[in-house]
């Protein structure tokens, strides 16, 4: 867990998974096929080629991310950046918290690899095992929903803060009653997607979340059509408003789950209830998952502190959970499209190298990944920082999201830009441990990292006004990501040997020079363009387009001049393809 909000299919929760809620990530980084690290080997994919799977996932990823972002914009326009929007965001985090605590982290690190192994070793292709697992999951998720619904008021107090107004607490609780059942459908969707992945079917898990996004976009549009897009107080959220926005969010996740069922039959899987759970090897699953459970549990403490501080700031008309979440979404989009693509390409290679004892090869891939992630994400971070104001006004200032909300968003985005590269690098090092495989060390590293994050965030919250609170949370994130990367590198060296620290430092130095030059030129161009701190929409778009082009061009030129290998390789590859 990364210091941000969890993401369901609404692209609002911030761990390292996709913004559309799918259980795997895809792309074509480093000119390699885009299969997830837990995807089945080629012989299990059947007649469907890796290239076809990559194309399906790449297109689906693009559409999923696009509709997920439109979903966020629609909800932001409908609810605004004040207390009602904060209440929705807080209520939305509750099912994500419970789901991640009970299943989410264990799913990706334990259950999917086990399904892959049973698919290969069992005489029936792992069908009986998957049936038992799905049966147990349905029961466990059902119980989890029931317990969460009973504890909804307590969860509201935990994340909303005990100083919230009665109207705010009632609204969060009312929305939670409608959203907590998402635990069931999100968990079910993730498990079905895992079963499909292990059988070489990638299309349905990639495209089903788009149905979710479209349903919620329609819900937000209907909300605006019926009730209008205006800032209201929590006490003014009538039963009809709550039922529409909360029920529509739940409906989207349910449709996503049901949309996967036909694909199960297509791959020949029959869902039969099996209650002989002892055959699952629960003791083994427990041993494998205990450290990931610890990792998630520690992260929840940081999430509780984060939400309490953000909700306190929101009550003082400053940037609260919704604005913070929107900014974190922008970071995760860049991370997901670029960094996760690189990690996805490197993960199978690092895992294979670790399995064969070729630790020098693993270290080389890790070094290459660190340099590439940093070099490619740096200009995006510069754009986020330099173009924070036009970005906030262009993307979010619609409906109930006011100019003041856009100004608050720009400050948070400006500070958050610093966290982008450290976050991506820390994630890469975490996945290096998983490749070994080792879930214990990341869990232990996470304890001091979360403690550091909480400490920085509390100190900044106490030292500055509420208007800086959300930005202060981002600073805490950045500091903790940097600490996680350094700690992970230090603990990895005895395991895999030298990771080319000298080369990494030299590349980072060149990247910093190129980024600084691009930032200075970008600031000058934006200053010369029409529009001030509160540009009109047209002025903001002009600043965004011209400023972004200038920053990208300047960074690319400086990178070529400084001979940043990770950039020159990409440019050379593009030139070769264009020259064909």
* Alpha-carbon dihedral sign for residues 107, 110, 111, 112: positive
What was the pLDDT predicted at 191?
83
What was the pLDDT predicted at 577?
58
| 10-residue stretch averages of pLDDT, the chain, 580 residues long | 42 34 27 33 41 56 82 93 91 74 57 74 84 88 91 87 79 94 88 80 81 95 94 93 96 93 86 83 73 81 91 89 92 83 78 87 91 93 96 92 92 95 93 85 93 96 93 96 94 90 92 96 94 86 95 95 84 62
**C-alpha 524: how far from its chain's center?**
33
- Collapsing DSSP states into helix, strand and coil, what is residue 123? coil
Contact assessment for residue 1 and residue 449, using Cβ atoms and an 8 Å cutoff? no
Q: Which residues touch 409 (CB under 8 Å, ≥6 apart)?
A: 81, 319, 323, 326, 327, 388, 392, 396
Cα separation of the two ends of the chain: 44
Contact assessment for residue 65 and residue 215, using Cβ atoms and an 8 Å cutoff? no
DSSP 356: T
Model confidence pLDDT, tens digit, residues 182-212 = 989 988 888 888 788 777 777 788 788 899 9
Model confidence pLDDT, tens digit, residues 126-139 = 888 888 988 988 89
What was the pLDDT predicted at 98?
61
What was the pLDDT predicted at 388?
96
The DSSP secondary structure of 96-122, one letter per residue, reads HHHHIIIIIHHIIIIIHHHHHHHHHHS
Contact assessment for residue 34 and residue 346, using Cβ atoms and an 8 Å cutoff? no
Rounded to two decimals, the pTM is 0.81
Enumerate the domain spans of the chain: 61-282, 289-500
The DSSP secondary structure of 18-41, one letter per residue, reads -TT--S-----GGGS----TTSPP
Q: Which residues touch 298 (CB under 8 Å, ≥6 apart)?
A: 443, 446, 447, 450
Q: Which residues of 206-239 are buried (b: 16+ CB within 10 A; e: fewer)?
A: bbbbbbbbebbbebbeebbeebebebbebeebee
């Amino acid at each position: 867990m990364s210091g941000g909000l969890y993401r369901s299919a609404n692209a609002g929760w911030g761990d390292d998974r996709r913004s559309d809620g799918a259980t795997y990530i895809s792309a074509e980084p480093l000119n390699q096929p885009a299969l997830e690290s837990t995807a089945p080997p080629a012989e299990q994919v059947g007649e469907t080629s890796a290239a076809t799977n990559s194309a399906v996932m790449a297109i689906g990823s693009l559409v999923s991310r696009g509709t997920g972002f439109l979903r966020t914009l629609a909800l932001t326009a409908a609810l605004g950046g004040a207390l009602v929007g904060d209440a929705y965001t807080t209520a939305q985090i509750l099912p994500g918290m419970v789901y991640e605590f009970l299943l989410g982290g264990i799913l990706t690190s334990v259950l999917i690899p086990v399904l892959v192994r049973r698919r290969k070793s069992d005489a029936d292709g792992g069908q009986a095992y998957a049936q038992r697992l799905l049966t147990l999951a349905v029961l466990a998720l059902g119980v989890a929903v029931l317990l969460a619904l009973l504890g909804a008021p307590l969860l509201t107090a935990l994340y909303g803060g005990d100083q919230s107004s009665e109207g705010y607490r009632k609204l969060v609780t009312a929305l939670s009653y409608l959203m907590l059942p998402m635990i069931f459908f999100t968990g079910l969707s993730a498990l079905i997607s895992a079963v499909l992945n292990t059988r070489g079917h990638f299309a349905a898990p990639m495209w089903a979340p788009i149905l979710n996004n479209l349903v919620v976009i329609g819900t937000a549009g209907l909300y605006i059509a019926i009730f209008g897009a205006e800032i209201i107080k929590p006490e003014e959220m009538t039963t009809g408003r709550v039922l529409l926005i909360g029920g529509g969010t739940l409906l989207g996740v349910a449709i996503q789950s049901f949309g996967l069922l036909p694909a199960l039959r297509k791959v020949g899987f029959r869902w039969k209830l099996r209650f002989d759970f002892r055959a699952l090897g629960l003791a083994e699953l427990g041993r494998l998952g205990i450290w990931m459970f610890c990792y998630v549990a520690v992260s929840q403490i940081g999430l509780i502190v984060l939400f309490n501080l953000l909700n306190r700031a929101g009550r003082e008309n400053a940037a609260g959970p919704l604005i913070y979440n929107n900014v974190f979404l922008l970071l995760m989009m860049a991370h997901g499209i670029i960094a996760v693509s690189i990690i996805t390409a490197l993960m199978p290679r690092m895992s294979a190298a670790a399995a064969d004892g070729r630790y020098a090869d693993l270290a080389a891939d890790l070094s290459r990944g660190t340099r590439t992630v940093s070099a490619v994400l740096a200009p995006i971070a510069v754009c986020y920082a330099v173009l924070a104001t036009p970005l906030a006004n262009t993307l979010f200032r619609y409906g109930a999201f006011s100019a003041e909300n856009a100004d608050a968003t720009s400050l948070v985005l400006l500070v958050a830009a610093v966290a982008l590269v450290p976050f991506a690098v820390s994630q890469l090092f975490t996945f290096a441990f998983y490749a070994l495989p080792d879930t214990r060390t990341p869990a232990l590293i996470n304890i001091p990292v979360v403690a550091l994050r909480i400490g920085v965030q509390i100190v900044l919250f106490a030292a500055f006004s509420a208007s800086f609170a959300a930005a202060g949370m981002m600073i805490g994130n950045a500091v903790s990501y940097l600490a996680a990367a350094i700690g992970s590198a230090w603990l990895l060296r005895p395991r895999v040997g030298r990771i080319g620290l000298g080369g990494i430092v030299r590349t980072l130095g060149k990247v910093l020079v190129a980024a600084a030059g691009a930032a200075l030129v970008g600031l000058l161009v934006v200053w010369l363009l029409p529009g001030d701190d509160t540009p009109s929409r047209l002025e903001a778009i002009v600043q965004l387009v011209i400023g972004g082009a200038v920053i990208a061009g300047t960074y690319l030129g400086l990178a070529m001049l400084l001979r940043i290998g990770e950039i020159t390789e990409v440019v050379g590859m593009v030139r070769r393809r264009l020259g064909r």
